[in-house]
Amino acid sequence: MSVPPPSDPPWVSCSALAARLREAGCVFAEDEAELMLSAAGTAAELAAMAERRATGLPLEHVLGRAEFCGMRMVVEPGVFVPRRRTEFLVRQAAAVTRPGSLVVDLCCGSGALGAALAAAVAREHPPHEQGSGAAGAAGAAGAAGAVELHAADIDPAAVRCARRNVAAAGGRVHEGDLFAALPAVLRGRVDVLLANVPYVPTDSLGLLPAEARDHEPVIALDGGADGLDVLRRVAAEVRHWLAPGGRLLVETSEDQVEAAARVLERGGLTVRTARREEPAATVVTGRRNASRDGRT
Ligand SMILES: C[S@@+](CC[C@H](N)C(=O)[O-])C[C@H]1O[C@@H](n2cnc3c(N)ncnc32)[C@H](O)[C@@H]1O
């Protein structure tokens, strides 16, 4: 009979690890155990992962990655974990993004949205449809050149993480406050602007699951008194950055959708709302008039 070395944790089997995670309160203990077993290189690493997860760290921070739009995104500690519901925002954006479009992922966090959109465009528009220099193979590896991608965030940790995720798409990541982070040459040229801004009303922050409350930065979550403060700032400037006919796409909660739509209308955009039931997601799209309106 082989005896494990003393440093080995007692939960090296999937079922033992799942039992440990269940005991710590993880609802999807079996699934999480499988993911940890596939990610850990050594028994010691597995033990450290199990302990970090047992203290309440989000699974994605424990693994260092998240699944998003069928891709594996790097998610570093302290960076907002991209949510599966936000895949709907990327899908809405993919429907209006063409090869060569100028795409900006504002408030990019891990950069998952921009990276996934670039990959979707590469997948949906094979090489013969694209101009020279555009790659068309499926997935992140084929995303380079499918769109011109810029991402930006105010948080240096997010910027570092996003650089790793958008690299395959040949994207650039800028650090700074909203549009101030972007190169001025992008003004009036952006075809698709993704902005999953913080939208939780300040008073509701305490109602978030502990994983978000305790392990994601407040700046990634807090949208001010009604949750729309950052969106109002984006809407106030966006028409100077969008190309004629360009679109801003934002995610909102169902409670906020009408107010968010009014915010975009006040920003001079024509608004449309799309909803999905499972998982529930709401996206508001604002389009700049297709003819130059003299406001850029
Ligand atoms: C809700 S998270 C979304 C992250 C990412 N777009 C996603 O969906 O996974 C909001 C992000 O906005 C960033 N942020 C908050 N205020 C900002 C500002 N004034 N300028 C730029 N980024 C900001 C945060 O650092 C955070 O990464």
Give mean pLDDT in consecutive 10-residue pieces for the chain, a chain of 296 residues.
48 84 92 94 91 94 97 97 98 97 98 97 78 44 83 98 95 98 98 98 96 96 98 98 98 97 98 95 96 57
> What's the start-to-end Cα distance of the chain, in Å?
75
Q: Considering only CA atoms, give the Rg of the chain.
A: 21
- H or E stretch covering 231: helix 229-237
CA distances from 82 to 25, 60, 68, 75, 86 (A): 22, 9, 7, 8, 7
Question: What contacts 65, CB < 8 A, 6 or more positions away?
Answer: 39, 72, 73, 74, 75
Q: Considering only CA atoms, which residue is closest to atom 14 of ligand 1?
A: 107
For residue 136, list its beta bridge partners. Answer: none
Instruction: Say yes or no: CB of residue 153 within 6 Å of ligand 1.
Output: yes
Instruction: Say yes or no: CB of residue 196 within 6 Å of ligand 1.
Output: yes
User: Under a CB-based contact definition with an 8 Å cutoff, are residues 175 and 154 in contact?
Assistant: yes
144 Cα: distance to centroid of ligand 1 (angstroms): 24
12 Cα: distance to centroid of ligand 1 (angstroms): 37
pTM: 0.91
Identity at 154, one-letter amino acid code:
I
Instruction: Say yes or no: CB of residue 80 within 6 Å of ligand 1.
Output: yes
Q: Tally the residues of the chain.
A: 296
Instruction: Say yes or no: CB of residue 220 within 6 Å of ligand 1.
Output: yes
Q: What is the pLDDT of residue 80?
A: 98
Instruction: Say yes or no: CB of residue 158 within 6 Å of ligand 1.
Output: yes
194 Cα nearest atom in ligand 1? 6
Instruction: Say yes or no: CB of residue 155 within 6 Å of ligand 1.
Output: yes
105 Cα nearest atom in ligand 1? 6
Q: Considering only CA atoms, which residue is closest to atom 19 of ligand 1?
A: 177
Cα dihedral 122→174→96→92 (10° resolution): 100
Helix %, strand %, coil % for the chain, to 5? 45, 20, 40
198 Cα: distance to centroid of ligand 1 (angstroms): 6
Q: What is the pLDDT of residue 182?
A: 98
